[in-house]
């Protein structure tokens, strides 16, 4: 526990929040499930804690006319899981948010906080990757938009610069898209997944696959995209060989480390198995 020469502020506008976060050693606080732990263990010693829950611009889920979603960074995982627009337009995202941690985590943990914390074992990021999500980032100097695929730079590191804040996550609309997420928890169900697999498949009017995105969680320093899913584009009903080839690519792409949730070898093997299963589920009926 650090000595307490820290201040706590509750900005009520985005401008105010950004101005405060620009100060030296300021840290953004969402729900505190990560920051609280880091503070408590003396792993961070900020001068200023800036709590974002009262910033209206960071709250709420907006839906575009085409069904695209704009999700405020201070939206909690509980809100995400229960949001009817999210349930309608990206049900896999709502489901994934609803499996994180426990009800107390979900009640306070925010989407922006989860992205900024960048723990590669999380459930939500692979789903957002599969949904081609983009991250809006603001600083006092202005705003930029970064594809989520470019947001994660290294283990627990992101493209956020000092003083920058995730303000919104944009999930673009897509016609006829199905998304599927599986988390493989072979030990306790209440654990980070040994591997998480998110797959999103969109089809054109002709029924052929127009876009296929595969993302993995838990098997690398960051959530990973498996570009070979692209091979499925143009097919209407990929054959088992094609599905297996993508699954093999997932195994090859996985860069896990040995830990309590499995050896690197096992996690790679499971990335293949669960990719294959997720693809079948996503392509199949129901």
Partner 1 sequence: MSRLDAWAKASGEARYVADMVLPGMLHVALVRSAVQHGRVRRVDSEQARAVEGVVGVFTADDVNRNTYGRSVRDIPILAGEKVRFVGERVAVVVAESRRAAEAAAALVEVEYDDLPAVTSAEEAIAQGAPLVHDAPWEYAGAAISQEDGHNLQSRVTEGSLTEVEAALGGAEHVVDRTYSTSSGHQGYLEPQACVASVEDGRVRLWVTNKSPYRLRTQLADCLGLDPASIEIEPVLLGGDFGGKGSPMDAPLCVELSRLVGRPVKLVLRYVEDLTATNPRHPARIHVRVGCDREGRLTGMALRALLNGGAYGGFKPLADVNLHGIEDCAMAYRVPALFVESTIAYTNTVPRGHMRSPGAPQAIFAVESALDELAAEAGLDPVDLRRRNLPRTGEPSSHGTTWLEARGLETLEAAVKHARTEQPEVPPGWRHGEGVAVYVRGLPGPPVTSVRLVPAPEGRVRVEVPIPETGTGSHTMVRNRLAAELGIDPEQVEVVQVSTEELPIDPGVGGSRVTVGMSEALGRAAEAWRRGGGDEPVAVELRPGDSAASAPVVCYCAQVAQVAVDPVTGQVKVLEVLSSVDVGDIINPAAHQMQIDGGAVMGYGFACLEDLFEEDGQFWAANLGEFKIPSTNDLPRLRTVLVEGGQGVTSANVKPVGELANVPTAAAIANAVAAATGCRIRDLPITSEKVFWAIEEESAR
Partner 2 sequence: MKLAFELNGAPVETEAEPDALLVDVIRGLGLTGTKEGCGVGVCGLCTVLVDDLPVSSCLYLAACARGSQVWTAEGLAREEPELVQAFVEHEGMQCGICTPGQVMAAAALVRGCPGASEAEIRDHQAGNLCRCTGYQTIVESVRACLASR
Q: Under the rule (CB under 8 A), what is the footprint of partner 2? A: 2, 4, 6-8, 10, 29, 31-33, 36-37, 39-40, 49, 51, 53, 78, 101-105, 107-108, 189-190
Residue 84 tokens, joined: 């009817």
Residue 8 or 155: the one with the smaller Cβ distance to partner 2 is: 8
Distance CA 158, CA 249 (A): 25
Residue 78 or 89: the one with the smaller Cβ distance to partner 2 is: 78
Using an 8 Å Cβ cutoff, are 234 and 258 in contact? no
How far, CA to CA in Å, does 48 sit from each of 38, 79, 161? 14, 27, 17
Distance CA 260, CA 272 (A): 20
Quick check: 270 binds partner 1 (CB under 8 A)? yes
- The total of other beta-carbon atoms located within 10 Å of residue 91's CB is 14
Quick check: 285 binds partner 1 (CB under 8 A)? no
Rounded least distance, CB 81 to partner 1, Å: 16
Quick check: 3 binds partner 1 (CB under 8 A)? yes
Residue 191 or 242: the one with the smaller Cβ distance to partner 1 is: 191
Residue 57 or 191: the one with the smaller Cβ distance to partner 2 is: 191
Strand partners, 203: 209
Which one of partner 2, partner 1, none interacts with residue 184, CB within 5 to 8 A by kind? partner 1
Which one of partner 2, partner 1, none interacts with residue 266, CB within 5 to 8 A by kind? partner 1
**Strand order from edge to edge, sheet including 48-51:** 7-9, 48-51, 26-29
Torsion of CA 134, 62, 15, 50, to 10 degrees: -80
Q: Which of 140, 147, 187, 227 binds partner 1 (CB under 8 A)?
A: 187
Using the rule CB under 8 A, give the single segment among 83-91, 198-206, 223-231, 270-278 that binds partner 1.
Answer: 270-278
Using the rule CB under 8 A, give the single segment among 23-31, 139-147, 248-256, 266-274 that binds partner 1.
Answer: 266-274
Buried b (16+ CB within 10 A) or exposed e, 184-214: bbeeeeeebbbbbbbbbbbbeeeeebbbbbb
Using the rule CB under 8 A, give the single segment among 66-74, 108-116, 171-179, 187-195 that binds partner 1.
Answer: 187-195
**What part of residues 143-182 is at the interface with partner 1 (CB under 8 A)?**
none
Which one of partner 2, partner 1, none interacts with residue 186, CB within 5 to 8 A by kind? partner 1
Q: Which of 7, 15, 25, 42 binds partner 1 (CB under 8 A)?
A: 42
Residue 78 or 268: the one with the smaller Cβ distance to partner 2 is: 78
- Residue matched to tokens 């980070």: 192
DSSP code, position 23 = S
Rounded least distance, CB 194 to partner 1, Å: 8
Which one of partner 1, partner 2, none interacts with residue 121, CB within 5 to 8 A by kind? none
Q: Is the dihedral of CA 37, 43, 47, 53 positive or negative?
A: negative
How far, CA to CA in Å, does 136 sit from each of 76, 91, 142, 158, 167? 17, 22, 11, 13, 6
Give 3's Cβ-side CA count (13 Å radius). Answer: 1
List residues binding partner 1 (CB under 8 A): 1-4, 42, 184, 186-191, 259-260, 262-263, 266, 269-270, 273-274
């Amino acid at each position: 526990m650090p000595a307490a020469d820290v201040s706590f502020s509750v900005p009520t506008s985005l401008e105010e929040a950004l101005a405060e976060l620009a100060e030296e050693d300021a840290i953004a606080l969402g729900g505190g499930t990560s920051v609280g732990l880091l503070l408590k263990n003396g792993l961070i010693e900020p001068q200023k804690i800036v709590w974002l829950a009262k910033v209206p611009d960071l709250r709420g889920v907006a839906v575009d006319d085409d069904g695209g979603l704009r999700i405020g960074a201070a939206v909690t995982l509980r809100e995400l899981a229960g949001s009817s627009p999210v349930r309608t337009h990206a049900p896999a995202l709502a489901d994934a948010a609803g499996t994180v941690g426990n009800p107390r985590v979900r009640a306070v943990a925010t989407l922006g906080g989860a992205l900024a914390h960048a723990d590669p074992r999380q459930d939500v990021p692979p789903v957002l990757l599969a949904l081609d999500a983009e991250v809006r980032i603001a600083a006092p100097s202005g705003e930029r938009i970064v594809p989520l695929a470019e947001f994660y730079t290294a283990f627990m590191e992101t493209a956020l610069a000092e003083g920058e804040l995730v303000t919104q996550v944009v999930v673009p609309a897509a016609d006829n898209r199905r998304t599927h997420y599986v988390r493989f928890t072979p030990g306790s169900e209440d654990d980070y997944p040994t591997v998480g697999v998110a797959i999103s498949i969109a089809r054109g009017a002709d029924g052929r696959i127009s876009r296929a995105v595969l993302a993995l969680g838990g098997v690398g320093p960051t959530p990973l995209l498996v570009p070979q899913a692209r091979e499925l584009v143009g097919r209407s009903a990929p054959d088992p060989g094609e599905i297996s080839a993508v699954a093999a690519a997932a195994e090859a792409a996985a860069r896990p480390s040995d830990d309590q949730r499995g050896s690197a070898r096992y996690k790679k093997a499971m990335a293949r198995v669960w990719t294959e299963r997720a693809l079948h589920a996503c392509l199949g009926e129901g």
